[in-house]
Amino acid sequence: MSAMWQTQHVVASGIVAAVGVAVAYISYTAQPAQAFLFPRLISTVFVVLALWTFGKALIGKTKVGNGLNRTQMINIAPGLVVALIYIFWAAKGLGFYTATTIAFFILLTLYDPAPHNKLRTWIKRVLITAGFLAVMYGLFAMLLKVYTPREIFF
């Protein structure tokens, strides 16, 4: 593995590990504690896997992929921008379900290879988004009874 690709693996896995540790810290210090049981479980598993991957990258044992080239980064960038807006503003400002619906629809529109000039594909995207919202609401609000950020619409 070349030094450039190894550096890419170390940097990427290090960023993911740092985000995982930050999310786990937030989930373990947030109140009310009962509302964060599910996020604590998920964040703990995420941190373990992220640190394991980071450790493998540090010692040069990463065996997956060849890093990201410029074209791949350009393809990922719009989704990353949507994710950052969602995480740092929209989920709290618009409410979890509203922000998730908007972000999902934007991501689906950005990455769906179907033509953007046909009404049928737009209807399909709206129906897929509505189905996704129904599943998310059923899973988090009804089945798991997980606390979600609430503001103007939910």
Residue 85 and residue 139 share a domain: yes
Residue 78 and residue 37 share a domain: no
- Rounded to two decimals, the pTM is 0.65
**pLDDT of 149:** 61
Question: Which of 67, 92, 123 is the C-terminal boundary of a domain?
Answer: 67
**pLDDT of 150:** 63
Question: Which of 11, 41, 67 is the C-terminal boundary of a domain?
Answer: 67
Residue 75 and residue 140 share a domain: yes
Write down the residue that tokens 């979890």 correspond to: 96
Question: Which of 26, 49, 67 is the C-terminal boundary of a domain?
Answer: 67
The 10s digit of each residue's pLDDT in 31-48 is: 777 767 777 888 899 999
Residue 133 and residue 94 share a domain: yes
- On the question of pLDDT at 56 being above 60, the answer is yes
The 10s digit of each residue's pLDDT in 57-85 is: 888 887 666 667 889 889 999 999 999 99
The 10s digit of each residue's pLDDT in 1-42 is: 466 667 778 888 899 999 989 988 988 887 777 767 777 888
Total domain count, the chain? 2
Residue 85 and residue 52 share a domain: no
Residue 151 and residue 87 share a domain: yes
The 10s digit of each residue's pLDDT in 72-125 is: 889 999 999 999 999 888 877 888 888 999 999 999 999 999 999 999 999 999
Domain that holds residue 87: 69-154
